[in-house]
Amino acid sequence: MKRVLWILPVIVAGALLSLPKITAQQQQDDLRKQIGTIIVTPGAGPSLAVADFQSRASGVDGAAATFNEVLWNDLKFAGITNLVGKSLYPKTKLADPASLKYDEWANDPVKSDYVAFGSITGANSAQGYLYDVKTQSQLLTASLAGDGREMAHQFADQIVKLLTGQDGIAQSKIAYIANREVFMMDYDGFGARQFTRDGSIALFPSLSVDGKRLAYVSYRSGFPNVVVRSEDGLIIGSTQFKGTTTSPSVAPDGRIVFSSSKDGDSMELFVANEDGSGAKKLTRGRSVNISPRWNPKTGREIAFVSDRGGSPQIYIIGADGTNERPLLSLGGQMDSPAWSPDGRFIAFTWDGGGGGFHVYLADVASGQVLRLTREGRNENPTWSPDSRHIAFQSNRSGRWEIWAMHIDGSEARQLTRTGGRSPSWSK
């Protein structure tokens, strides 16, 4: 009996010690459950069959092959429906509505809710359709123009818009750093093109929400300063500081926030007009305040990293410099907060208290946290315009490359092949 009594406190202590872990796990599960309503997981949600587009002109087989591959990848990565495998499709070619037999697509083995199909009608033209095979109704007819990739992106976005009411991301772009310059690429890693030719060092590119402005740090003046360019590359303005300046972010109204030691002070946050003029200091203190990111939905708050509590943690401050408060204090080192375009989440980098840097997700209101990456070192997350995907830099392939994934951490895909850092994703 005495032995039992001796064990009892040990059991109680063990149970108490395990409580926080259970709570943290429950939080992760809860957040994962919520995210599960945003990204369609296999077996859940509506299903979509995507029949190969048929060539209806000579010499367009190549364009058709590209179109079909890109459209499939776009819709798969969109994560709004379950794509029905092509091996299950009827053998009859489907190029126009007259050939559509609803039963073939609605019943076994396809059992799809929707079917997308169409034809490549010329070197740069196509006709696409989307049908609801359960209700036997046409949802979309689209006349597409451009090369194979462009037309596929257009059609994918139209399907996403129709089925979700949200704009698709297939025609969005990502800015990133390679070879000390800013580059741009399509959201799927294709079409990379050099955007800046400063001939110095470019860092921290940040696209505005509408994609019409790019702010980045350039050493072209001799000192690192924020430069703002329009989407066609013209310089709108720049700061004229002589200290260290880093990580600009563009507000919905065009203002920029950045971190700078200005003329040798400590690293503080500044807000300036879109041309870099009228810089106003937001934070005051001896701590390091860096990596500011606007809430792109409201433009009223800024998330940033500060070591005022001892280690770098994420804080929030009002755009007028008031109402500073910690958002997350998990210990370890945090960096690169990125606010989702819908204002709901903040993605960030955290070493998990010494477990290697990975990308995490936090619900801004509840503070619930979810780990998204597990391979290699992962940094600098950035959100897709639809708040359903995240791009980041990772060295999991052996060197720093840009990757993208769903916001539940699934469907990770490598976007760059020749190196890339600091992605910024926008329309």
Partner 1 sequence: MKSFKIRLALCLIVIALPLTAIAQSKEQKEKIDRMAAQLEELKTELILVQRQTQAMQDTFNKTMGELNTLIVQMGDNIAAVRRAQSAISTNTTDTSGQISAMGERVTATNSRMERLSEQFASLRKLIEDIPKMPTFTQLTPGNAEQLFAAAYSDYSRGNFDLALSEFKQYVETFPSSELADNAQYWIAEILLAQRKPVEAIAELEKVAQVNPQGDKTALALYKRATLLLEAGKKEEAVAQFLVIIKGYEKSNEAALATQQLQQIAPEALAPPPAPQPEKTPVRKKKP
Say whether residue 410 binds partner 1 (CB under 8 A): no
> CA-CA distance, 162 to 408, in Å (whole number)?
23
Start-to-end CA distance of the chain, whole Å, equals 70
Give whichever of 295 and 373 is closer to partner 1, judged by the CB atom: 295
Distance CA 426, CA 391 (A): 11
Q: Is 166 in the site for partner 1 (CB under 8 A)?
A: yes
Q: What is the Cα–Cα distance from 171 to 158, expressed in whole angstroms? A: 11
Which residue type sits at 57? A
Contact status: 261 vs partner 1 (CB under 8 A) = no
State the nearest-atom distance from the C-beta of 108 to partner 1, in Å. 23
Q: In angstroms, what is the minimal distance from the CB of 158 to partner 1?
A: 15
- Could you say which residues in the range 371-390 bind partner 1, by CB under 8 A? 387
Residues 17-46 that bind partner 1 (CB under 8 A): 30, 34, 37-40, 45-46
Report the C-alpha gap between 341 and 344 in whole angstroms.
8
3-class DSSP state of 183: strand
Least gap, CB of 232 to partner 1 (angstroms) = 29
Helix (H, G, I), strand (E, B) or coil at 148: helix
**Among 116, 163, 214, 305, contact with partner 1 (rule: CB under 8 A):** 163
Which amino acid type is present at position 424?
Answer: S
307 binds partner 1 (CB under 8 A): no
Q: Does 267 bind partner 1 (CB under 8 A)?
A: no
- Listed ranges 102-110, 140-148, 176-184, 290-298: which one lies at the site for partner 1 (CB under 8 A): 290-298
281-284's contacts with Cβ under 8 Å and 24+ in sequence apart are 281/321, 282/257, 282/317, 282/321, 283/317, 283/321, 283/324
- 331 binding partner 1? (CB under 8 A): no
Give the whole-angstrom CA distance, residue 408 versus residue 395: 20
Provide the minimum distance between the beta carbon of 254 and partner 1 in the complex, in angstroms, as a whole number. Answer: 17
Give yes or no for residue 228 binding partner 1 (CB under 8 A): no
**C-alpha to C-alpha distance for 268 and 17, rounded to whole angstroms:** 39
**Closest separation in Å from C-beta 344 to partner 1:** 5
Which spans of this chain sit near partner 1 (rule: CB under 8 A)? 30, 34, 37-40, 45-46, 79-80, 163-166, 295, 297-298, 300-301, 320, 322-324, 342-344, 363-366, 387
